Each structure stands twice: as C-alpha cells, then as structure tokens.
Amino acid sequence: METLLLAWFERNARPLPWRKTQDPYAILVSEVMAQQTQVDRVVPRWQRWLERWPTVEALAAATAAEVITEWQGLGYNRRALNLHRAAQQVAARGWPDDLAALPGVGRYTADAVECFAFGRDVLPQDVNVRRVIDRTGVLFTSAAAQALMDLGATVCLARVPRCEICPLASGCPSRGRRYEPLRKQGPFEGSFRQRRSAALRAVVAGEQPDDEEAVAALARDGLVAVRDGLVSLPSAAP
C-alpha cells in the first residue's frame, strides 16, 4: 500500500513552502502555526514570520511583546510564547536530542521536526495520519509521512471519506464506511475565548481592556502584565 500512496503523492502533493526546507527552526514554526489553524491561513503568516525572524537566534532575540503582536490572528496565543521560549532555549543550548523537551512541543510536533528536518526514522502521527492508519490497518514507514498527511487532509476525511478517489481503496477494509461527526469545540462567538482574544487585541493596540476576568486569564498565561492597574504586553510592563 505504501508504494501506491507514494505514487499518488507524487501527483497530488500540496505545494506547502516548508516542504522545501530542512531547517528545523522553519519546520518547527510551521508545525506550531498549523496546530488548530487551517493550512491556507498559515502559509502567508509563516512566510512573513520567517522574513522577520529568519533564524532561531533572531526569534530568541525578539521580545515577547513583538512575538505576541506578530502572532495576532492565528489564535491560541500561548503557542506564540511557547515558540519564543523554545527558540531561546535552542539559541542558548542547541537542539535537544528529544525535541519534546522544548516548551510547548508535544510528541507529534517533536516527531515531525525530527523526521522532516533531521531525517530520523520516526513517523509523526497527527490526526490525519492516525486516521489513515486506523482505517487501513497498515504500518507505514516514515518515508510516507507527508503523503499520509495529505491523504488524510484531502481524501480520507473524518466523516465522509472520498473512497472513490483514494489510491488505497482497493485494499482498505474501511472502504465505503461513513462516520459519526466528531465532537467539536464550542462556537467562538460569545465564548470566553473570544473575550480573551478581544482583550489581548486591545492591549496590542495600546488600549486598556475592561474585561477583568479575561485580563486575569491572559496574565496567568504570561500573555500580559498587570501593574498598578495598567495592562501591557509582557516586555512593555511599566
């Protein structure tokens, strides 16, 4: 099955810019940005980020306020702080043997960077990769990692897989099955996440938000600093 998958990938690979590099820093940025964010939104932001901070040392030298400001619009702002802290750690000590030791880097992200940047024989398993493995029952190698990601993202979909165009359909035991919708996160509109986001945007714009609960949550995450009743970005605290 892997041979069929790789042949399909040669014809259908998504043209993602981070696939043209083996720079572990650039790949780490792409993986962190792509967590819970659509890939088409990530591409221009990844390019802009790398133009501003082209190396891990450049990002490490930035302020937390600069990083948080640049991240606006990508959501889940703690990812930005963790990426900044990871860059500082790498700049000071080099890349660790196990990248999961870096702030905010989980097993999947560590495996992805180790596979795509360092060429290690490990198969990173995100939700798309696990779905294909679970449905086919095949143990793929790390050489199929990118192909599995694309197949899961574009063909082997969560609810209604597109079996009619799948290169693995002829040998797949799950062919033709339909699946119950997965439990989704609650709507953003009217949520506390929206209030946090609005409060942080206000601080980035130099304003003082009036949502004390949201500000307190942001402060606990290190995204803002509060002193003498004034709220500011971390490096800009009075």
**Catalytic residue numbers?**
31
Closest CA to 105 of 130, 120, 124, 127: 124
User: Which H or E run includes 230?
Assistant: strand 230-232
Residue 61 has a CB neighbour count (10 Å cut-off) of 13
Cα-to-chain-centroid distance, residue 79: 8
CA dist list (Å): 4 to 8, 111, 216: 6, 24, 52
Residue 20 is encoded by which pair of tokens?
């043209």
Q: Where do we find the tokens 């948080």?
A: 68
State the CB neighbour count (10 A cutoff) for residue 57: 14
Based on its alpha-carbon atoms, the radius of gyration of the chain, rounded to whole angstroms, reads 20
